[in-house]
Structure 1
Amino acid sequence: MKKIKRIIALSGAVLLVGMYISTLVFALLDSSETMGLLKASIVCTVILPVLLYAYTLVYKITKGSGSGNDDSV
């Protein structure tokens, strides 16, 4: 399970770096088509980490802390 978590975390990090690079490239290109791509890239750069954080938060809540004590709710 730990190996799967590392692979998922690494793929998420690679995806974020790719989005940052694409945002930079779209910002430097001067074309009418790239303006829409730049906006989409900026939105994805903000939304994806928020969704990943929400996913991990829900996962921690549903799995619990592992101590077997449900009084922490």
Structure 2
Amino acid sequence: MILMKKLKRITALAGAVLLAGMYMSTLIFALLDRSETMGLLKASVVCTVLLPVLLYAYTLVYKITKGDGGGEDGPS
């Protein structure tokens, strides 16, 4: 049980760091005025939107398959 909580925290931290990195790369690519960075900017914007959506979908599917609808404290 404690190992799962630590794993969830590590995963959440890794996701937050990944999102922050994507936000920074989007900002940097937007500020650079080179023709080759336009494709990188588009990819960065798509990933910035797509990753949180996929993480939410994964979390939703996990909760449905595990039958955990009430949270950590039990059914409400």
TM-score of the two chains, using structure 2 as the length reference: 0.85
Once the two structures are aligned, what percentage of the paired residues are identical?
Answer: 84
**Structure with the larger helix share:** 1
How many residue pairs end up in the alignment? Answer: 67
CA distance in structure 2 between the partners assigned to 1:66 and 1:16 by the alignment: 26
Q: Are 2:35 and 1:32 equivalent residues in the alignment?
A: yes
Alpha-carbon displacement from aligned partner over 1:45-72 (angstroms, at most 9, x marks no partner): 00000000000000000001278xxxxx
Q: Are 2:66 and 1:63 equivalent residues in the alignment?
A: yes
CA distance in structure 2 between the partners assigned to 1:12 and 1:18 by the alignment: 10
4+ residue runs of structure 1 moved beyond 2 angstroms? Answer: none
CA RMSD of aligned residues (A): 1.3
CA distance in structure 1 between the partners assigned to 2:69 and 2:46 by the alignment: 35
CA distance in structure 2 between the partners assigned to 1:17 and 1:48 by the alignment: 12
TM-score of the two chains, using structure 1 as the length reference: 0.88
Question: Which residue of structure 2 lines up, in the alignment, with residue 15 of structure 1?
Answer: 18
CA distance in structure 2 between the partners assigned to 1:64 and 1:57 by the alignment: 10
Unpaired stretches in structure 1, ≥5 consecutive residues? 68-73
Question: Which residue of structure 2 lines up, in the alignment, with residue 6 of structure 1?
Answer: 9
CA distance in structure 2 between the partners assigned to 1:60 and 1:30 by the alignment: 44
Unpaired stretches in structure 2, ≥5 consecutive residues? 71-76
